[in-house]
Homo-oligomer: A and B are copies of this chain.
Amino acid sequence: MLADGVQIRNKGLDSMEVDTLYHIGFSTNQSLKEMFGDVRFVCMGGTAYRMEKLARNIVRDFGIKLPTGTDLCDLSMHSHRYSMFKAGPVLCVGHGMGAPSVSILLHELFKLLYYAEAKDVIFIRMGTSGGLGLPPGSIVVSKKVINEFGETSHPFAVLGRRIDRPCVLPQDLADEIINVGRAVCPDVTVVGATTMSANDFYEGQARLDGAFCDYTAACKQAFLSELHSERGVTNIEMESSVFSAMCHHAGIKAAVVCVTIVERLQEDQITCRAISLDEAQMRLQSIVMAFIKEKLHWGL
Give the interface of A toward B (CB within 8 A). Answer: 8-13, 16, 19-20, 22-23, 46-50, 80-81, 96-101, 103-104, 106-108, 110-111, 114, 148-150, 156-160, 162, 198-204, 206, 208-215, 217, 219-220, 223, 227, 238, 249-250, 269-271
Q: Is the CB of A211 within 8 A of B160?
A: no
Q: Is the CB of B100 within 8 A of A12?
A: no
Number of copies: 2
A155 to B121, CA, bound (A): 35
- Chain B residues within an 8 Å CB radius of A250: 211-212
Q: Is the CB of B96 within 8 A of A101?
A: yes
- Chain B residues within an 8 Å CB radius of A111: 210-211
Nearest-neighbor residue (CB-CB) of A197 within chain B: B100
Q: Is the CB of B270 within 8 A of A220?
A: no
Nearest-neighbor residue (CB-CB) of A156 within chain B: B203
Nearest-neighbor residue (CB-CB) of A18 within chain B: B269
Q: A100-B201, A158-B203 are in contact. List 19 more A-B contacts (CB 8 A).
A: A10-B212, A16-B209, A50-B80, A81-B97, A96-B101, A97-B104, A98-B104, A103-B199, A103-B204, A107-B200, A110-B211, A156-B200, A156-B204, A157-B200, A157-B204, A158-B215, A159-B206, A159-B215, A160-B223
Q: Is the CB of A12 within 8 A of B208?
A: yes
Q: Is the CB of B47 within 8 A of A81?
A: yes
Q: Is the CB of B156 within 8 A of A269?
A: no
A148 to B160, CA, bound (A): 6
Nearest-neighbor residue (CB-CB) of A19 within chain B: B209
20 pairs from A and B in contact (CB 8 Å cutoff): A8-B211, A9-B211, A9-B214, A10-B209, A19-B209, A20-B269, A47-B81, A96-B96, A98-B98, A98-B103, A100-B101, A100-B198, A100-B238, A103-B199, A103-B204, A148-B157, A156-B199, A156-B204, A157-B203, A159-B203
A13 to B250, CA, bound (A): 44
- Chain B residues within an 8 Å CB radius of A110: 211
A148 to B99, CA, bound (A): 15
